Structure 1
Amino acid sequence: MLKHFTFATIGATVVALGLGNTALAATFKIIASDLDNPRGLSIGPNGALYVTEAGRGGAEPCIPSPTNPTASVCYGATGALTRIENGTVTRVVTGLPSLAAPDGSEATGAHDVAFDATGQPYVLIGLGSNPAARSTLGVPEFGQLLKINALNGGSDWTAIADVAAFEQTENPDGGGVDSNPYSFVIQNNTAYVADAGANALLKANLDNGAVDLASVFESRLVTNPFGGPDIPMQSVPNAVASGSDNTLYVGELTGFPFPVGGARVYRVANGVPEIFAEGFTNIIDLDFDANGNLYVLEYATNGLLSGDLTGALTRLNPNGTRTTLLSEGLFAPTSFTFGENGDIFIANRGIAAGQGEIIRFNFHDDSQSVPEPSSWIGLLAIASVGGFLKVSRR
């Protein structure tokens, strides 16, 4: 059995289909383009928008591609943290580690960025492999949380928490050893990290770097799309958000066979994941707005096996309906964040080197609302009492 989460399989799909020239809706504005595999987004303390670029890899050293043992992904210091401010796009941190195929697909690297209460920036570096591969690469930053020391265009950081090492020693889900930290949020002095490869939510102490388990997400049986008995599907938790009461919410991409409607949002209370919402497909990000409404970004609404990488941004409404705010124009979106005056920033075309973009979208409440599945009634009860790719299993 092999468990992996990166964007290799997705990248191969892009090579086969091409990115095309999808027309954006009139409410869109592209505020940055030509990015290398853009991933996480965050608003900094000065109001500027920051985006992590996973990079385009490099020439060497190389390790086997997790999705194709006859191919390789190779290292290059091509990742970046990029600031978008007043119409100017600037790479304020460069030289971040990146792994990718020769064409820049299958990229793994700088996956997310967040700021603590003092304005200190942190960047999460993915891996998408057995942590032992780091000795071959000679780049220990893969699978670690970095503290960024300066935003001046240089390469000044300190590795403070080795997330991948926890998977190597503890392997909380008991499957194959694999780590791919993808998303994190900060509460006080703790970073909560969704490790999609480990199928776990981890917590890292920002003061001393200690890493511990916050929750684990078990596999479950789903229908075999090719017939025969049901097959196990991994959770692949790759999105984490903090509710108004600091309760953690985790979204799952799901593993093979990536069933349409098979992705869930979990509410994690006391280390136990409870189903909060379901019926999504390939969740890639989630967050709460200032009013406490949860928004979910889907990477591919028709499922990864469809070859259609059209995404969608959906709001869960207090009355039990869902509002699809945006779908047309989203192609392999990888993250979003809230700005001012109703603006939402989305990392679009986030799985190709030199073709990624950041769009600004301002929605209105004339979007179509659709009923939640019946489980929403139970989820409201829970709330009332409680208060991209590569994924494979072979």
Structure 2
Amino acid sequence: MRTRILAAVGAIVAAVLTPATATAEEPWTVVAEGLNNPRGLAFAHDGALYVAESGRGGEGPCIPGPEGDEVCFGATGAITRVAKGEQSRVITGLPSIAGRDGSAALGPSDVDPQGHGGLYFTVGLGADPAVRNDLPPLGRNASGWLLRRHGHGGWKQVADIGAFEAEQNPDGGLPDTNPNSVVATSAGQVVVDAGGNSLLRVFGRHAIRTLAVFDTRTIDGQPVQSVPTSVVERDGAFYVGELTGFPFPPGKARVHRVVPGQGPRVIADGFTNIVDIAFDHKNRLYVLEISHNGLLSGDPTGALIRVNHDGSRTIIAQEGLTMPGGLTIRDHEAYVSNCGVCPGGGTVVSIPLG
């Protein structure tokens, strides 16, 4: 699944590397810029915004990419903090795997700075966990892991999501791990593994339990994996958005509600390639699509969509959203990591919700 997702993204990366910028017609504010493949983001209790940057790869080692090109490893992933108009990378030197141009990287994928015990973040891999054996120590010890900030600019291991996938393989498919989203709770951290099609609760380094598995569906006669990308906690349950796997059919992505001890239940559908979800203060669901017309369309335009209480949908933003990578909501504004596959050209924009 990793290969086909990267190939689809790669097909439209050329159009993305010169990202759209907010115009006078778009009442957005750029709150962070110059980011490398920005993905998940979240606010801390003190009002600071943290952003996971997947980096821009590096000098290697390199391995074959999805279309025969090389993707190369480097220590260019980071966690950025934005506060009082200033931004700085507070954790650097994290794993990153990307093409030679640095686009569509796999690295730090999400962050939760409000957790019990500090700031937690996931680092993606998008491959069989066994490939870590071919990476430098940094890749073996951090790619495919849930990590936690430790000290000034440091980090420590929390849970090896990749090892759990290799040993337990909850969905029964080929081993594939890509920790893509995390929410910290009083009962441990909950992680979405997009590669493993699973929702996991972490109690410690060697204590991981499967909360839910998202099954493969048949769509138009073809098997399509769920590829869950995002998780948020609300009203005692977990809400999970899905990308949908190859061929990334438009209009088939869903949002699930998972109550621990029960199976996933679809609570909203009809979306395309969901990359993140969030709720506002009125308990309305917002869905961020990485590509509104689908990853095989060649169109890099994403969309931010609100699900109203009556079930109707409102497109909050579309034009100007370029392969967005993450969403969070604070007060009456949505914060979106824009150009989530861009090396150096990624931004975070705030979008009024009205």
Secondary structure of the structure 1 residue equivalent to 2:33: strand
- 1:62-211 equivalent positions in 2, closer than 5 A: 62-65=62-65, 67-68=66-67, 70-118=68-116, 120-138=118-136, 139=139, 140-150=141-151, 152=152, 154=153, 156-205=154-203, 207=204, 209-211=206-208
What residue ranges of structure 1 are gaps of 5+ in the alignment?
224-229, 365-394
Distance of 1:357 and 1:103 partners within structure 2:
18
Tell whether the 8 Å contact from 1:6 to 1:180 is kept in structure 2 after alignment.
Answer: no
Q: Report what 1:247 is aligned to.
A: 237
Superposition deviation, residue 23 in structure 1: 4.6
Tell whether the 8 Å contact from 1:54 to 1:80 is kept in structure 2 after alignment.
Answer: yes
- Please tell me the residue identity of whatever aligns with 1:312: A
Superposition deviation, residue 18 in structure 1: 4.6
- Identity among equivalent positions (%) equals 45
Tell whether the 8 Å contact from 2:284 to 2:309 is kept in structure 1 after alignment.
Answer: yes
222 and 298 in structure 1: CA distance in 2 versus 1, 3 angstrom threshold: same
- Please tell me the residue identity of whatever aligns with 1:96: L
Distance of 1:100 and 1:17 partners within structure 2:
15
Tell whether the 8 Å contact from 2:104 to 2:341 is kept in structure 1 after alignment.
Answer: yes
Q: Report what 1:226 is aligned to.
A: none
Q: Report what 2:229 is aligned to.
A: 238
Q: Report what 1:346 is aligned to.
A: 336
Superposition deviation, residue 246 in structure 1: 2.1
Larger Rg: 1
Aligned length: 349
Tell whether the 8 Å contact from 1:196 to 1:236 is kept in structure 2 after alignment.
Answer: yes
Secondary structure of the structure 2 residue equivalent to 1:167: helix
What residue ranges of structure 2 are gaps of 5+ in the alignment?
none
- Please tell me the residue identity of whatever aligns with 1:112: D
Deviations, residues 98-136 of structure 1 (Å, cap 9, x unaligned): 111111023000000002454610111000111011111
17 and 318 in structure 1: CA distance in 2 versus 1, 3 angstrom threshold: closer
338 and 177 in structure 1: CA distance in 2 versus 1, 3 angstrom threshold: same
Distance of 1:257 and 1:249 partners within structure 2:
24
Secondary structure of the structure 1 residue equivalent to 2:77: strand
211 and 306 in structure 1: CA distance in 2 versus 1, 3 angstrom threshold: same
Normalising by structure 2, we get a TM-score of 0.94
- 1:1-394 equivalent positions in 2, closer than 5 A: 2=1, 7=6, 9-15=8-14, 18-24=17-23, 25-65=25-65, 67-68=66-67, 70-118=68-116, 120-138=118-136, 139=139, 140-150=141-151, 152=152, 154=153, 156-205=154-203, 207=204, 209-223=206-220, 230-243=221-234, 245-269=235-259, 270-340=261-331, 342-364=332-354
143 and 20 in structure 1: CA distance in 2 versus 1, 3 angstrom threshold: closer
Distance of 1:307 and 1:84 partners within structure 2:
32
Deviations, residues 131-170 of structure 1 (Å, cap 9, x unaligned): 01111103221000111013x4x3x110110011111111
Tell whether the 8 Å contact from 1:332 to 1:351 is kept in structure 2 after alignment.
Answer: yes
Deviations, residues 342-384 of structure 1 (Å, cap 9, x unaligned): 12111001101011001111122xxxxxxxxxxxxxxxxxxxx
Distance of 2:30 and 2:144 partners within structure 1:
31
Tell whether the 8 Å contact from 2:19 to 2:339 is kept in structure 1 after alignment.
Answer: no
Q: Report what 1:382 is aligned to.
A: none
Deviations, residues 264-303 of structure 1 (Å, cap 9, x unaligned): 1111122401111100000000011222111111111111
Tell whether the 8 Å contact from 1:345 to 1:358 is kept in structure 2 after alignment.
Answer: yes
Tell whether the 8 Å contact from 1:6 to 1:106 is kept in structure 2 after alignment.
Answer: no
Distance of 1:5 and 1:292 partners within structure 2:
35
Distance of 1:271 and 1:160 partners within structure 2:
26
Secondary structure of the structure 2 residue equivalent to 1:15: helix
- Please tell me the residue identity of whatever aligns with 2:340: G
Distance of 2:290 and 2:15 partners within structure 1:
18
RMSD, matched Cα: 1.8
- Please tell me the residue identity of whatever aligns with 1:301: H
Distance of 2:104 and 2:26 partners within structure 1:
31
Secondary structure of the structure 2 residue equivalent to 1:76: strand
Distance of 1:34 and 1:317 partners within structure 2:
34
133 and 4 in structure 1: CA distance in 2 versus 1, 3 angstrom threshold: same
